[in-house]
Amino acid sequence: MTPRGGDGIALLCLLVFCNTFGVGAFGPLLPEIGKTHTLDDWQLGMLAGSFGLARMIADVPSGALAGRYLGTALIVSPASILVGVVLLATAGSFPVLVLGRLLTGLGHTLGMVGGLTAVLREAPGPSASVRLNVFEFAGMLGVLGGLASVGLVPASWGWPASLVAASIPVLVPIAITPRLRRRFPDESARPAGAAPASPAPVAATAPVVWLMFAVGAVMALGWSAVSQFLIPLRGTREFGLDRGGVSRLLALAQLVDLAVLLPVGWLADRAGRVPVLGAVVAVLGLGAWSAGLGSFAFFVAGCVLLGLGMAGWMLPLGVIREHIEPRTLAWRTGLYRVGIDAAAFLGPLVCGLLGEAHTGVFIGLVGLAAVGVGGHLLRRGLA
C-alpha cells in the first residue's frame, strides 16, 4: 500500500531527516577517532567505507522487503541506526567500531530504499524529479544538522559523546512508530478483499537504465571519497583545520546542495532529466578534481562545486522510473542502490589503501571520469 496524500510524503521526509543526523556527524569526527585509537589510513578508510559496504549488501534485500513489507522496513531503519550509534559510542576495539558503522549503514539503507520506493510510487509523471528532490532535501537538511551539531558540541566532550549528542534526532521516528505503521502498512496488511498483484514476466532492462546505474555509481564514488575521507583528513593534516573547520567545509557543500536542489528538480522536469543530469555530473567531477589536487582556495571551491553536483543525486532514479514497470520499482530501486553503495564503500577504502600521498591523484582521476560521463549525457540529452 502506498502513502496517501502529502502527509505520507511528510512522514517520509521526517524519517530521512532524523536518520541522517548521524551521517553528517561522523565525517568531522573521523580524524579524532583515528587519533584516539591510533588507526592507520587503511583502517580509517575501512571504517568510513563500511557504512557503504553495509548499504551495498543490504540494498537488494531492502528492496525486496520494501516491496512487500514497507512499514516494517521503515520502522526497523531508525532502530538499527540507534544500535549502531550506541556501539560506536562505546569506543571499543576496531571491529566493534566497524560493526557499529555497519549497523548504521543497514538502518540508513532500509530508510532510503523504503522511502524512495514509497515516493516513486506516489510521484510518476512530470512531478517525479521535484518529489524525489524534496525527499533528498530532507535528508540533506539532516546531514547539515549533524554537521552543525558536532561543530557546536565542545571538543572536550570527546568524539563518542559528540556523536551521541548529534544523533539524538533518530529517536523521533522511533517515537512515532505506531503512526508510521498505520500510514505505511505491509503488503500482507492490505484491506480484506484487495486482490494481490498477479505475477508476470519482468521485461528486459532498457539500456538507459543500466546507464543510470553507472552514472549513480560515478557520482557516489566521487562524493564518498571526497566527503568521507579527503575533506576530513586533508583538511586536518594539510590545512590545519580543527573539527569545526572540517564541519564548516562539509556544511558548505550541503548548503550549496540545499540551495539548488529544488530548482534543479524543477528544471529537470521541464528541460529534460538527462541533459540536466549531465551538467551536474560534470560539475561534480570538477569539484572532486579541485578538492583532490588544488590549493586551499581550490579545496574550498571544490566543496562548492561538489554541492552543486550533488543536487542531481536523485535524477538517475527519475530516469529509471520512466523506463520500468511500476511493479518492479522496489526491486530496481534496491538494485540501483547496490551500485551506489558499492561505490560509496570503495571511495574511502581505496583512498585509505592508497594513503595520503596518492589520494589526491585518485580523486582527481575520478573527477575527470565524472566530467567525461557528464559530457556524454549532455550530448545524449541535447541530441
- What digits encode the pLDDT tens for the residues 99-128? 999 999 999 989 988 888 787 776 555 555
Residues 177-186 as b or e (16 or more Cβ within 10 Å = b): eeebeebbbb
Q: Which three cell numbers stand for residue 113?
A: 530504499
Q: Are 311 and 257 in contact (CB under 8 A)?
A: yes
The Cα 58–Cα 51 span in angstroms is 11
Q: How far is CA 298 from CA 199, 247, 304, in A?
A: 54, 17, 10
Within 10 Å of residue 40's Cβ, how many Cβ atoms? 12
3-state helix, strand, coil in the chain (%, to 5): 85, 0, 15
Does the structure show a pLDDT above 90 at 96?
Answer: yes
The Cα 120–Cα 132 span in angstroms is 7
- What digits encode the pLDDT tens for the residues 41-88? 888 888 988 888 888 888 878 877 887 888 888 999 999 999 999 999
Q: Which three cell numbers stand for residue 178?
A: 505506531
Q: Are 28 and 227 in contact (CB under 8 A)?
A: no
- Geometric angle at alpha carbon 40, from 24 and 235, rounded to 5°: 45
Does the structure show a pLDDT above 90 at 283?
Answer: yes
Closest CA to 26 of 110, 119, 142, 117: 142
Q: DSSP character for 184?
A: S
Residue 94, burial from CB neighbour count under 10 angstroms (0-12, 13-18, 19+): middle
pTM above the 0.75 mark?
Answer: no
- What digits encode the pLDDT tens for the residues 129-180? 677 778 888 988 898 899 888 888 888 899 999 999 999 999 999 999 999 8
Closest CA to 212 of 103, 339, 100: 339
The Cα 85–Cα 101 span in angstroms is 8
CATH numeric code, 6-187+204-382:
1.20.1250.20
3-state secondary structure of 70: helix
Q: How far is CA 294 from CA 193, 196, 202, 226, in A?
A: 63, 57, 47, 13
The Cα 48–Cα 203 span in angstroms is 37
Q: DSSP character for 191?
A: P
List the domain boundaries for the chain.
Answer: 6-187+204-382
pLDDT-derived band at 3, boundaries 50, 70, 90: very low
Closest CA to 185 of 327, 63, 73, 17: 73
- In DSSP notation, 248-273 reads HHHHHHHHHHHHHHHHHHHHHHHH-H
